[in-house]
Structure 1
């Protein structure tokens, strides 16, 4: 990515009054992130969700200075990053409307793995939870899954270490910038994780591990994965937030049951009782529910070819064939078709039996 474009992305990311959803809407409507800052405010204000408050923050000159400083840090330290419209942006996160427009990464991360699971839970892990976590990853290792967690005490670090032990790729999603590490006692694991995966964060290099950052990063933990597993949790906790987010993304959630008298099983038991998670008692539950055995035995099927598509329909078809499921906003941007035109095109393609709508304004080929 050119420096000018990256600077524009950083400026947009820095604007506190504009979150990731609104940022994507701006980019899609004007056609390019650099154009966002060249467009007339009167034009931008016509975009749904953009008010005078957001506009005043968008053109705040302080953001230019701060973004320039962050750009210098990225260049000087050779920091890798992924933009939400780049080919290397994780496909699972592309399906999440509130996923970050930009995140930073370190290590040897390969997002092409189709079997990605997040494992989270309490920091006050019991021996029961620790044994289950280790055994689960040991037995799933033959399927070579990518293990995601948050690098925190308890379940998180147990999952990372078990993945490293089994030579599986593992990703730690951080709630702070790369200029520090939390908790500091886990600094000794950095090299191991970088060799077997790495670290990911949406926060700028000097961002501290604030409480709200932990809650914010949970959407990445849930969104980057095909399924989220809760090993142990009290009646309230961050891992339950992650489970709720995963459910909102229509991802599978699993919870390990425990005795009703155990404090750190109450959260899992409640998830199962309220039908917010599948009961997880064995690795076989994961394999069966996620169809991992079927994926290994799958035989390629020749896709039906459609010959009655017009030029714009063919653009959409080719994009979905290449990328898989995509948000309507992403389709609009990639195909350079305005939303108001694209809605009609998608409807016609649905009537022709070419594609199907999915929850969350997603579309996929049949």
Structure 2
């Protein structure tokens, strides 16, 4: 967007009573943010939702001074701005009616034609949650997904750290402006994250990490991704809000099941029970439901001349060599493995390049 577009867009954001939905409605009607300020009041009054109070607020000249101050901050700190109609605005987020008018970003991120998943959960992550998250991200490496989270304590920072350890792009969606970081103890991760990913926010530099901002930013976490994964959650929490928003956006939601007696599995178990989330027991579940193609994404994963298979994998491979292509459920039945186990085994074998998936949950040996 041009400097003029940015100026008027920021000014429009500062008009009292203009949120993201109303701003887009006004821009659509007037052609641009500048056009909103230059359109006569009687014409603006014809727009649904525009009343006398809003017409009065659009005459407030102080919004232009505020816009200039924010532009100075953006320029002095090398902040990137993504306008909701621009190419650099996240594709999936564009389809969310209440998505931010603009996004401010810092770092080195590339979201075009990428697989993007959001990982959320409790701030009191347990060893169970840590181990599951670690295995999940490691198994997803061949697909090179972008890992999005909220840079908070617990599941968020664990997901970011694991993404960095596995050289995956990771993005922290913040509940405040880019002039600060919250929590301050996570400042040590910023430089490395900005090398491959970085930070994203809808909030101006004047915004503090207030409680309501965390709830608001959750819609970005849910809207930017193909799927939202809840690793662990109590029966209430921000991650459940994110999951509900993702459902409202018609996105896939996954939850990691846990024991009924575990406090931080209660939220996940309830999402599954109420059919608001798919059961996630391994990366294979995610790959299957999202219909991701490992072969297409990872040229590095090729069939090797000599591949090491464990006993269970060898049993499946021998069966497929004898029978040809077969349904996953039949493979599980004939090889005497439970479904949750067979999905993980088939994924590992696929990564080793000894089998390939076919449409209709079929698999065949290569």
State the TM bucket, normalised to the shorter chain.
Answer: 0.7 to 0.9
Deviations 1:220-240 (A, max 9, x none): 000000000000011110000
Contact 1:119 1:230 (8 Å CA) reproduced: yes
Contact 2:255 2:279 (8 Å CA) reproduced: yes
Runs of 4+ in structure 1 displaced over 6 angstroms? none
> Mind listing any 5+ residue stretches in structure 2 that lack a counterpart?
298-366
Deviations 1:235-267 (A, max 9, x none): 110000100110011000000011111111111
Aligned to 1:159: 159
> Mind listing any 5+ residue stretches in structure 1 that lack a counterpart?
298-366
**Distance in structure 1 (CA, Å) of the matches to 2:136 and 2:33:** 43
Q: Is 1:254 the counterpart of 2:260 in the alignment?
A: no
Alpha-carbon offset, residue 59 of structure 1: 2.5
**Distance in structure 2 (CA, Å) of the matches to 1:281 and 1:59:** 55
**Distance in structure 2 (CA, Å) of the matches to 1:104 and 1:63:** 19
**Distance in structure 1 (CA, Å) of the matches to 2:2 and 2:293:** 43
Aligned to 1:274: 274
Aligned to 1:107: 107
Q: Is 1:187 the counterpart of 2:192 in the alignment?
A: no
Aligned to 2:303: none
**Distance in structure 2 (CA, Å) of the matches to 1:167 and 1:282:** 20
Change in Cα spacing, 1:160 to 1:140, as seen in structure 2 (3 Å) is same
Alpha-carbon offset, residue 30 of structure 1: 1.1
Aligned to 2:308: none
Alpha-carbon offset, residue 58 of structure 1: 2.6
Query: What is the 5 A alignment of 1:43-58?
Result: 43-58=43-58
Query: What is the 5 A alignment of 1:166-177?
Result: 166-177=166-177
**Distance in structure 1 (CA, Å) of the matches to 2:228 and 2:58:** 35
Q: Secondary structure at the match of 2:212?
A: helix
Contact 1:164 1:170 (8 Å CA) reproduced: yes
**Distance in structure 1 (CA, Å) of the matches to 2:171 and 2:294:** 25
Aligned to 1:60: 60
**Distance in structure 2 (CA, Å) of the matches to 1:85 and 1:194:** 24
Aligned to 2:238: 238
Contact 2:93 2:223 (8 Å CA) reproduced: yes
**Distance in structure 2 (CA, Å) of the matches to 1:78 and 1:139:** 35
Alpha-carbon offset, residue 157 of structure 1: 0.2
**Distance in structure 1 (CA, Å) of the matches to 2:28 and 2:189:** 40
Q: Is 1:150 the counterpart of 2:150 in the alignment?
A: yes
Contact 1:82 1:102 (8 Å CA) reproduced: yes
Contact 1:175 1:210 (8 Å CA) reproduced: yes
- The count of corresponding residues between Structure 1 and Structure 2 is 297
Measured on the aligned residues, the alpha-carbon RMSD in Å equals 1.3
**Distance in structure 2 (CA, Å) of the matches to 1:57 and 1:4:** 21
Contact 2:143 2:294 (8 Å CA) reproduced: no
Query: What is the 5 A alignment of 1:119-134?
Result: 119-134=119-134
Larger relative contact order, structure 1 or 2 (CA cutoff 8 Å, min sep 6): 1
Q: TM-score, normalised by structure 2?
A: 0.79
Q: Is 1:285 the counterpart of 2:311 in the alignment?
A: no
Q: TM-score, normalised by structure 1?
A: 0.79
Alpha-carbon offset, residue 294 of structure 1: 7.2
Q: Secondary structure at the match of 1:271?
A: helix
Q: Secondary structure at the match of 1:37?
A: helix
